[in-house]
Structure 1
Amino acid sequence: MRIKQLDYIIKIVELGSVNEAAKHLFITQPSLSNAVKELEQEMGIQIFQRTQKGMILTTAGTEFLAYARQILEQVDLLEEKYKGTDKRRRLFSVSAQHYAFAVHAFVQLIRSYEENEYEFTFRETQTNNIIEDVSTFHSELGILYLNAFNEKVIRKLLKEKQLTFHPLFIAKPHVFVSKKNPLVGKSSVTLADLEDFPYLSFEQGRVNSFHFSEEILSTLYHKKSIRVSDRATLFNFLIGLDGYTISSGVLSRELNDENIVALPLEVDETMELGWIHPIQKPLSPMAEEYLHYLKEHIIDYGFTIIEEA
């Protein structure tokens, strides 16, 4: 087994295609395919399943990839220490539900990174995609929430994907509204107060189960309902239509439009926000640093971080 073969595997996973990976690696497609086949034969496993949609990791391949990343990280450290080589181009990805605090922490991570080259990816995406991204190593971490309604379903899926949920903090539901909304000024709002305002939520694609909704109370009927796919559009509708959405109440002072206000929602519910990660894969230094900024930002907003046993 050669280090270069491990680099090949990781590039194929990132791009989902042997052809695209070969272009980025500046080798021919047959050479790359042969290198993968040789590695599979040597290891006695099938790393990829070849499909019409591209190369998909098998279960054995997913486990192999976790070890491959660890090996390459250690090789990188050895070369830096003893050969004086430049650091390997850093790659780090996070997939998250639409939370400003997760974006803010990512911005801080990038600002703190002093190297000239890096490739960071932040995916604000649907709940099922977050789980898929982390289980297939397209993202190292995922950010989502659990509550009494969705916990059983989400935890079952995480177990099937060999992922674990690490709680960060408990939040009581708030509604986000425009600062010009007639409800602004109230110390809290009820569901009855919201009845005549347009309700905004993030669509969940093909897996549009209530259990995958980013908003609690997803089974409630709303007279006016609008689904969107990105946070900027949702905020525009909050302002333009006097709409509202339900979330954790954590807004970023730096990144969010100052025209948005969070109001406590009078319901007997809580949200446990946290991060997911493969069970047996250790965190990279980059992931550790991101979690540091994430916790720092959460504490800055007056929440208490849940300490795991």
Structure 2
Amino acid sequence: MKYIIETSKHQSFSEASKALFISQSTLSTAIKSVEESLGIILFHRNNRGVTLTYDGEDYLKYAKEIVYQSEQLEQRYQSRKYLPMRFSVSTQRLPFAVRSFTKLTSDLNLDTYDIAIRECPTYSVIHDVATHRSELGILSIHNSYISSIKKVLVSYNLCFNEISQLKPYVFINSLHPLATKKSISLEDLEPYPFVTYDQKIDLSHFTEEILFYKLLNRNIHVSDRCTKIALVRNCNCFSIGPDLTNSNADIFHKGLGEILAIPLKNFPEPLHLGYISLISQPLSKLSKQYLRYLESDVKTIAKL
């Protein structure tokens, strides 16, 4: 295709062969082979040079697009050779995982790098790591579900590496009727809507939250953290988990009210926080650096 494009550009086999750094006979033979294979004539040949036939013009439109896409694909992966750092992490909607990624990004004193973070449901985190889309997956798993999750991971050749065990908190806004309590029980929460992440899969152990089936009279399912935060800030809703970002510093959030983290009463079972990775693949330098930031951040939460 490149030969044909170049020949069309120069309207001469000899000039095109010079531009391509090949012999004229090699070029002519290659184009003739394409014509015979497709059963069409691409060029009118005469003593003054060559011109495209109608079929040749039609062929050239598609050939240019294919060659362009091919070159773009080559450039994408050839350029990776010059990117000294590549790293991707997939995580449940966990603020400390994002904070750790931010710290990692701040410390990358490099001209070029290629890194990514993906906040997604639990099953997507597992799929990303299993398919090499991400090197690490960050999961917070309820104690009751840790065994079943580990069985799922083994089937994907993944392992779970625990970092810490965290206490669950109830998140409500500062004007909520329960805001003055030092701890909140499940019974206290029954009258209020529960804001929960939609996992798109009907398996309770895939959630990063604690599900209480007797609280399912009022549920609000959301797909991202920003929506959950907005609902908790503006309504008498509640959320449960190890962490929920609270940003009240800029004009967009001004006056919307702080989000409070209040311990969940009489709930001894912890949340197991850890990372998943492929059993057969050693961790990269960036993965280890990211995990150090994550462990440091989580230690602060665990002391609360």
TM-score normalised by length of structure 2: 0.68
Deviation at 1:208, TM superposition (A): 2.8
Corresponding position of 1:213: 207
Contact 1:210 1:218 in 2 (8 A): no
C-alpha separation in 1, matches of 2:180 and 2:70: 55
Q: What amino acid does structure 1 have at the position aligned with 2:203?
A: S
Alignment CA distance shift 1:22-1:244 (3 Å):
farther
Contact 2:194 2:215 in 1 (8 A): no
Between 1:196-205 and 1:245-254, the stretch displaced more is 245-254
Corresponding position of 2:56: none
Give 3-state SS (helix, strand or coil) of 2:144's partner.
coil
Deviation at 1:302, TM superposition (A): 4.3
Deviations 1:239-271 (A, max 9, x none): 121211110146578999782111111123211
Match status 1:181 vs 2:176: yes
Q: What amino acid does structure 1 have at the position aligned with 2:188?
A: D
Identity of aligned residues (%): 31
Aligned length: 229
Tell me how large the CA RMSD over aligned residues is: 2.8
Corresponding residue to 2:217 among 203, 223, 228: 223
Match status 1:190 vs 2:239: no
Alignment CA distance shift 1:254-1:300 (3 Å):
farther
Corresponding position of 2:10: none
C-alpha separation in 2, matches of 1:21 and 1:112: 35
Contact 1:100 1:252 in 2 (8 A): no
Corresponding residue to 1:235 among 229, 234, 248: 229
Alignment CA distance shift 1:93-1:211 (3 Å):
same
C-alpha separation in 2, matches of 1:123 and 1:172: 24
Corresponding position of 1:155: 150
Alignment CA distance shift 1:97-1:217 (3 Å):
same
C-alpha separation in 2, matches of 1:284 and 1:253: 32
Q: What amino acid does structure 2 have at the position aligned with 1:291?
A: L
Contact 1:198 1:243 in 2 (8 A): yes
Residues 30-109 of structure 1 mapped to structure 2, 5 A cutoff = 88-109=83-104
Corresponding position of 1:259: 258
Alignment CA distance shift 1:254-1:181 (3 Å):
closer
Deviations 1:70-119 (A, max 9, x none): xxx9xx7xxxxxxxxxx534221111111111000000000000112222
Give 3-state SS (helix, strand or coil) of 1:149's partner.
helix
Q: What amino acid does structure 1 have at the position aligned with 2:263?
A: P
Q: What amino acid does structure 1 have at the position aligned with 2:159?
A: T
Corresponding position of 2:286: 286
C-alpha separation in 1, matches of 2:146 and 2:264: 21
Between 1:118-127 and 1:252-261, the stretch displaced more is 252-261
Q: What amino acid does structure 1 have at the position aligned with 2:195?
A: L
Q: Looking at CA atoms only, which structure, 1 or 2, has the larger radius of gyration?
A: 2
Alignment CA distance shift 1:22-1:154 (3 Å):
farther
Alignment CA distance shift 1:254-1:277 (3 Å):
farther
Match status 1:24 vs 2:73: yes
Deviation at 1:152, TM superposition (A): 2.4
C-alpha separation in 2, matches of 1:20 and 1:177: 51
C-alpha separation in 1, matches of 2:213 and 2:147: 16
Corresponding position of 1:36: none
Deviation at 1:171, TM superposition (A): 1.2
C-alpha separation in 2, matches of 1:163 and 1:275: 10
Corresponding position of 1:111: 106
Between 1:243-252 and 1:133-142, the stretch displaced more is 243-252
C-alpha separation in 2, matches of 1:110 and 1:249: 21
Give 3-state SS (helix, strand or coil) of 2:172's partner.
strand
Corresponding position of 1:167: 162
Structure 2, gaps ≥5 residues long: 1-67
Structure 1, gaps ≥5 residues long: 1-18, 33-72, 77-86, 305-309
Corresponding position of 1:125: 120
Match status 1:140 vs 2:135: yes
C-alpha separation in 2, matches of 1:195 and 1:21: 58
